[in-house]
Amino acid sequence: MTHPHRLGILGGTLDPMHFGHLDAADVARRALDLDEVWFVPSHDPPHRPLDPVASPFHRFAMTSLAVSDHEAYRACDLELRRAGSSYTVDTLRELHTQGWAPSQLFFIIGVDAFAEVAAWRAYPDVLGAANFAVISRAGLPAPQLAAQLPELSARIATAGITSATGTGTMIFPVEGRTRDVSSSLVRQRLRDRQSISDLVPAQVERHIMTHGLYGSGKQIA
């Protein structure tokens, strides 16, 4: 059976991109049969108390480097080219204007971040702009999503991609192992003069060290 082209979207500050982002994309791609995944660094994340540390240029460069060895992954500057706050619904609507149907789009997000979806702009309409692939995090299993958000239970798939019907959108809990990494941990390691080789791809680490990002020097223990 052939499926329509399915595109995964993974957004965030990506400050910097790390193995946890790549793991989430890998898990979603396998579970939902995604053809591609685009990584979209945000320009001005509205739900973050602090602005990104690295510039848009460096965040896009690190994202591009992180996916350079993955044929089906690419960095996308859609939000970096748009002024103002980076709202997910605006990004999804822009993809609609490029010819993508909502049913073809799968927004990849951790279960902890998705728990705050009611605070997003254009909620609940944003849920109709794409499918949502909600990835388990350490101590937060995605299959318990319906219990955590009972008001969305009618939208939550119970049998993976086989639950998809017609051209509508759904929420897909995705169980899988992802490394417990955060961008803040990467930055803290660098401030503490510790190695980040287990947290980010080698190309990203080289970029950080070459440009002295996040307070790093060129000698890491």
CA distances from 165 to 8, 92, 118, 131, 159 (A): 18, 20, 24, 12, 12
Is the pLDDT at 8 greater than 90? The verdict is: yes
Q: Is residue 166 part of a domain?
A: yes
How many Å apart are CA 5 and CA 36, to the nearest integer? 9
How many Å apart are CA 25 and CA 108, to the nearest integer? 7
For the chain, the helix, strand and coil percentages under 3-state DSSP, each to the nearest 5: 40, 15, 45
CA distances from 175 to 20, 135, 181, 186 (A): 14, 6, 17, 24
Give the range of the structural domain holding residue 117, as residue numbers without chain letter.
7-179
Q: Is residue 90 part of a domain?
A: yes
Helix pair angle (202-211, 56-66), 10° resolution: 150
Q: Is residue 59 part of a domain?
A: yes
Minimum mean pLDDT among 43-47, 52-56, 175-179, 188-192: which range? 43-47
Q: Is residue 189 part of a domain?
A: no
Is the pLDDT at 33 greater than 80? The verdict is: yes
Q: Is residue 110 part of a domain?
A: yes
The total number of structural domains in the chain stands at 1
Q: What is the DSSP track for 8-50?
A: EEEEE--TT--HHHHHHHHHHHHHHT-SEEEEEE-SS-TT-SS
Q: Is residue 196 part of a domain?
A: no
Q: Specify whether the CB–CB gap between 80 and 95 falls below 8 A.
A: no
Residues 6+ apart with CB under 8 A from 162: none
pLDDT band at 220 (very low <50, low <70, confident <90, very high): very low
CA distances from 43 to 13, 57, 115, 212 (A): 8, 10, 22, 21
Residue 72, domain CATH? 3.40.50.620
User: pLDDT, tens digit, for every residue of 132-143?
Assistant: 999 987 666 676
User: pLDDT, tens digit, for every residue of 116-173?
Assistant: 999 999 999 999 999 999 998 766 667 678 788 889 999 999 866 655 555 689 999 9
Look at the pTM and tell me if it is higher than 0.85: yes
Q: Is residue 146 part of a domain?
A: yes
Q: Is residue 1 part of a domain?
A: no
